[in-house]
Amino acid sequence: FSTTLKDLLNQFLNDTHLNIELDLSMVKTIDSSGIGKILLFYKHLKGKKRELIIQSLSPDLKEVFLTLRLNRLFNF
């Protein structure tokens, strides 16, 4: 997951759309590496005045994101 996500997110960094929506409906679990990649992508987008929107979080993933207080950074 992490390598695929990294490649996919890098493709979007050069896109000109203002906001990026990341659909996580097919993701059942995520580790610290996956969270780190999402945060790195968020940082790059924020530097370009763009927003990352997280969509379709499972209840378990939403709990992880809320525990890490990532709701302060992302719209779900």
pLDDT of the residue at 58: 92
Percent of the chain with pLDDT over 70: 80
Q: What is the pTM of this model?
A: 0.75
Mean pLDDT calculated for residue range 7-24: 74
pLDDT tens, 17-44?
A: 678 888 999 988 889 988 998 898 888 8
Contact indicator for 43, 75 with CB cutoff of 8 Å: no
Altogether, the residues listed in the chain come to a count of 76
